[in-house]
Amino acid sequence: MNQDQLKQLVGQKAVEFVKDGMYVGLGTGSTVKFMVDALGERVQKEHLNIVGVSTSERTAAQAKSLGIPMKSVDDVDHLDLTIDGADEISADFQGVKGGGAALLWEKIVAINTDKVMWIVDESKMVDQLGAFGLPVEVIPYGSKHVFDKMAARGYNPVFRKVDGEFVRTDSNNYLIDLHINPITDPHALAEDLIHMVGVVEHGLFLDMVNTVIVGHENGPEVIQARP
Ligand SMILES: O=C[C@H](O)[C@H](O)[C@H](O)COP(=O)(O)O
């Protein structure tokens, strides 16, 4: 099985956990794309009655095109389940997210959700976080100074650019990817980053996930990370 097939496998497995009447957070990324396809199929064929809340403009467009009823996060008072991808998950189920630039909306949706599920192919499971650059969303104004302060702390920052242009998030901010490998104390790093003026949010998703579905060659593995 190639990586895409593993992603599809976990996407299809995840939607088995979606029940009638749920408010469902829809993550972002290539793995989630397969999940949203599978969810759309259940909505169309089984008339599954759910409301989706998207974590990006991309996912919202896909979900709407499949006929999944959608609401904005501010139009629901809570979410039952959010299904999202991840860039890295450590052995103690801490995560790095934001490779697809959606970390801010993803975190807002996740913290307002009863149960958070991450779906990944097995390459995302690591002993310690850090091999994947840690995305940090920053306000463009003054971002050079934030960047310099990160460099001075030894975080090896790199502005995310495509074809020489700054990548913009759905909130029109910039991203700075930090190269700290390994991240030995994710909580201390999170605490430091969130107090830097100009940082909107970082991609460390700590103590947040309840269930992880990992795609292996021999099938999906459902892991209960937290109750
Ligand atoms: O910003 C994007 C998200 O955090 C994604 O969920 C994450 O980057 C994983 O994406 P993919 O499934 O494409 O590897």
Q: Is 97 near ligand 1, meaning CB less than 6 Å away?
A: yes
Burial class of residue 72 (count of CB atoms within 10 Å of its CB; 0-12, 13-18, 19+):
exposed
Q: What is the pLDDT of residue 123?
A: 96
Q: What is the pLDDT of residue 224?
A: 98
Domains of the chain in sequence order = 3-124+206-217 (3.40.50.1360), 134-200 (3.30.70.260)
- For residue 55, the CA-to-ligand 1 centroid distance in Å is 11
Say if strands 174-178 and 199-202 run parallel, antiparallel, or are unpaired. Answer: unpaired
Q: What is the pLDDT of residues 86-104, one digit of tens each?
A: 999 999 999 999 999 999 9
* Helix, strand, coil percentages for the chain (3-state, nearest 5): 35, 30, 40
Q: What is the pLDDT of residue 25?
A: 99
122 annotated active-site: no
Catalytic entry in 106, 122, 137, 191: 106
66: confidence class by pLDDT, cuts 50, 70, 90 = very high
What are 181's two structure tokens? Answer: 């490998």
Tell whether residue 97 is among the known ligand binding residues.
yes
Q: How distant is the alpha carbon of residue 1 from its chain centre?
A: 24
Which is more confident, 163 or 1?
A: 163
Rounded to an integer, what distance in angstroms lies between the CA atom of residue 150 and that of residue 32? 31
Nearest-CA residue for ligand 1 atom 2 is 100
Q: Is 25 near ligand 1, meaning CB less than 6 Å away?
A: no
Q: What is the pLDDT of residue 135?
A: 99
Tell whether residue 99 is among the known ligand binding residues.
yes
Q: What is the pLDDT of residue 111?
A: 98
- For residue 45, the CA-to-ligand 1 centroid distance in Å is 27
What are 159's two structure tokens? Answer: 């502005």
- For residue 29, the CA-to-ligand 1 centroid distance in Å is 4
Q: What is the pLDDT of residues 69-83, one digit of tens each?
A: 999 999 999 999 999
Q: What is the pLDDT of residue 33?
A: 98
Q: What is the pLDDT of residue 153?
A: 98
Tell whether residue 30 is among the known ligand binding residues.
yes
- For residue 42, the CA-to-ligand 1 centroid distance in Å is 23
Tell whether residue 98 is among the known ligand binding residues.
yes
Average pLDDT over residues 27-39: 98
Q: 67: which DSSP letter?
A: T
Q: Across-strand partners of 157?
A: 178
Say if strands 165-166 and 199-202 run parallel, antiparallel, or are unpaired. Answer: unpaired
Q: Which of 58, 4, 63 is nearest to 28 (CA)?
A: 58
Q: Which helix (H) or strand (E) holds 146?
A: helix 143-152
| Percent of the chain whose predicted confidence (pLDDT) is above 90 | 100
Q: What is the pLDDT of residues 139-169, one digit of tens each?
A: 999 999 999 999 999 999 999 999 999 999 9
Q: Is 82 near ligand 1, meaning CB less than 6 Å away?
A: no
Q: Is 85 near ligand 1, meaning CB less than 6 Å away?
A: yes
Exposure class string for 98-118: b at 16+ Cβ within 10 A, else e: bbbbbbbbbbbbbebbebbbb
